[in-house]
Amino acid sequence: PFTPMVDPDNDNVADDFAFAFDIDGVLVRGGKPIPEAIEAMKVLNGENEFGIKVPYIFLTNGGGKFESERCANLSRQLDMTVSEGQLICGHTPMRELSSRYRDCSVLVVGGEGETCRLVAESYGFHDVITPGDILKANASTAPFRRLTPAEHAASRDLLFSSRRRHRRPEVVRKLSDIVVFAVFVFADSHDWASDLQIILDIAQSRGGRLETRSETFDKGPPIYFSHSDVVWSAAHEHVRLGMGALRKMVETVFEETTSGRKLVTHAFGKPQVGTFEFAERLLRQWRAEKHGLPFGILPCGRSQGPKTVYFVGDTPESDVKGTNAMDEKSGREGTEWYSILVKTGVYQEGTEPRYRPRKLVGNVLDAVHHGIRREM
Ligand code: G3P
Ligand code: MG
């Protein structure tokens, strides 16, 4: 299904092993490259004692941008070219749900400005509502949040206008005419209080109908988070709160405000094994597309791929937990997933990681050397 851009130096490509990298806390921190990351990429691109190129992909829980933009940023930060065929963001797998909600209204939360709405539309969601649209229609939804003039102008007019962009115009007279079929938290919230309020309003509504309250609190639409990292590694010397913290707040405050009812939400991203399976498919495709390595089904029924994938991460709860779970699931016949934990991000030296990696190293360059030495 793709045209291979075969590596002219095909003989010197490692076909038995590959790397996959977490981004924040491993390659980048606070928008700046971690110094050893640039050298690590050079080593994988063939600047090593064996002159061998090693295929690799990137698997981040981060998001809030088009994958193409994230690749452009990473290319600049790492001083090389990163292709879209090599990158998965936290929200990338949400694309697969767009056909289920194609003609339904969905709430998309997070990120800066209108970007997440545009990303969701590019995934095939046709009727995307944001918290800004709801605040524009009813400012009393979040008493202390005022949209800036720019936000007001960019937000959709949900009332008295065509609601579905791609279908027959339909007039909505009040917010309760609108039913939200699912909530997708695409990226970190930029305004936790109003986003929390709006997500909870929908979770406690009658079947997702805006501005209604359920009596039983058991009919709310599904709520999907693009990952569940409670903390992550940014520019500050200590870890910062992430989307997983908002997820916990949503669940805890729901319980608190519904006399103890439990709210079950769903998460994509690492450590979900489904995300690692998605990554393995991408890696197989990338190896074939970029390096001309075989991409087919073996007589035993197993698809051809590397024997080992070295996953380099900084967060035991997402990176190590997910890699180890993927390795266990793959079993003896499948690809070995080998976890390497670095000390440049969330994990703090001297502490006991909650999930034990196969190897603990200082930084991403040490991780790359470790994998190559183990193989050669
Ligand atoms: O918001 C991003 C963060 O939670 C983690 O990103 O690259 O470490 O998976 P990453
Ligand atoms: Mg990380």
Distance (Å) from CA 319 to ligand 2 centroid: 7
Give the CATH number for residue 85. Answer: 3.40.50.1000
CB of 371 within 6 A of ligand 1: the answer is no
pLDDT score, position 299 = 66
Band of the pLDDT at 162, cuts 50, 70, 90? low
**Which backbone phi and psi does 185 adopt, to 5 degrees?**
-90, 100
pLDDT digits (tens, 9 = 90+) for 102-160: 889 999 999 999 999 999 999 999 999 999 999 999 999 999 999 999 999 999 999 86
Position 188 pLDDT exceeds 80:
yes
Q: Domain span at residue 105? A: 93-267
Are 19 and 74 members of one domain?
A: yes
pLDDT score, position 168 = 44
Tokens of 278: 């998605």
pLDDT score, position 103 = 85
Tokens of 319: 């990176």
**Mean per-residue pLDDT over the chain, rounded:** 93
pLDDT score, position 89 = 97
Q: 27 and 39 in contact (C-beta within 8 Å)?
A: no
pLDDT digits (tens, 9 = 90+) for 27-67: 999 999 999 999 999 999 999 999 999 999 999 999 999 99
Q: Where are the alpha helices (DSSP H) in the chain?
A: 35-44, 67-78, 115-123, 131-137, 149-154, 192-203, 243-257, 273-291, 321-330, 364-375
Are 170 and 187 members of one domain?
A: yes
What percentage of residues in the chain have a pLDDT greater than 90?
87
Are 163 and 50 members of one domain?
A: no
Band of the pLDDT at 305, cuts 50, 70, 90? confident
Q: 64 and 187 in contact (C-beta within 8 Å)?
A: yes
CB of 242 within 6 A of ligand 1: the answer is yes
CA 312 – CA 34 distance, rounded (Å): 14
Q: Using CA positions, which residue lies closest to atom 3 of ligand 1?
A: 62
Tell me the ipTM for this assembly.
0.97
Q: 25 and 315 in contact (C-beta within 8 Å)?
A: yes
**List of residues 6+ apart from 177 with CB closer than 8 A:** none
CB of 24 within 6 A of ligand 1: the answer is yes
Give whole-number Cα distances, 144 to 89, 124, 135, 190, 326, in Å: 32, 33, 11, 14, 44
**Cβ neighbours of 8 (radius 10 Å):** 7
Task: Select from 216, 236, 267 the last residue of a domain.
Answer: 267
Q: 284 and 295 in contact (C-beta within 8 Å)?
A: yes
Position 7 pLDDT exceeds 90:
no
CA 142 – CA 210 distance, rounded (Å): 14
Band of the pLDDT at 300, cuts 50, 70, 90? low
* Average pLDDT score over residue span 216-228: 95
pLDDT score, position 207 = 96
Distance (Å) from CA 361 to ligand 1 centroid: 19
CB of 344 within 6 A of ligand 1: the answer is no
Are 232 and 217 members of one domain?
A: yes
| Angular region, 184: left φ>0, alpha ψ -120 to 50, beta rest | beta
Q: What is the best residue among 318, 319, 320 to mutate for testing ligand 1's pocket, by most ligand atoms within 8 Å of CB? A: 318
Q: What is the best residue among 28, 236, 315 to mutate for testing ligand 1's pocket, by most ligand atoms within 8 Å of CB? A: 315
Are 241 and 121 members of one domain?
A: yes
* Average pLDDT score over residue span 304-326: 96
CA 329 – CA 106 distance, rounded (Å): 33
Number of the ligand 1 atom closest to the C-alpha atom of 188: 1
Domain annotation covers residue 48: yes
Number of the ligand 1 atom closest to the C-alpha atom of 345: 8
Are 67 and 158 members of one domain?
A: no
Distance (Å) from CA 296 to ligand 1 centroid: 32
Are 126 and 203 members of one domain?
A: yes
Task: Select from 267, 283, 316 the last residue of a domain.
Answer: 267
Position 165 pLDDT exceeds 70:
no
- Report the alpha-carbon angle 185-132-137, nearest 5: 130
Q: Using CA positions, which residue lies closest to atom 1 of ligand 1?
A: 62
* Number of separate domains in the chain: 2
State the DSSP string of 323-347. Answer: HHHHHHHHTTTS-EEEEEE-SSSSS
CB of 232 within 6 A of ligand 1: the answer is yes
* Average pLDDT score over residue span 264-272: 96
* Average pLDDT score over residue span 86-98: 95
Q: 240 and 281 in contact (C-beta within 8 Å)?
A: no
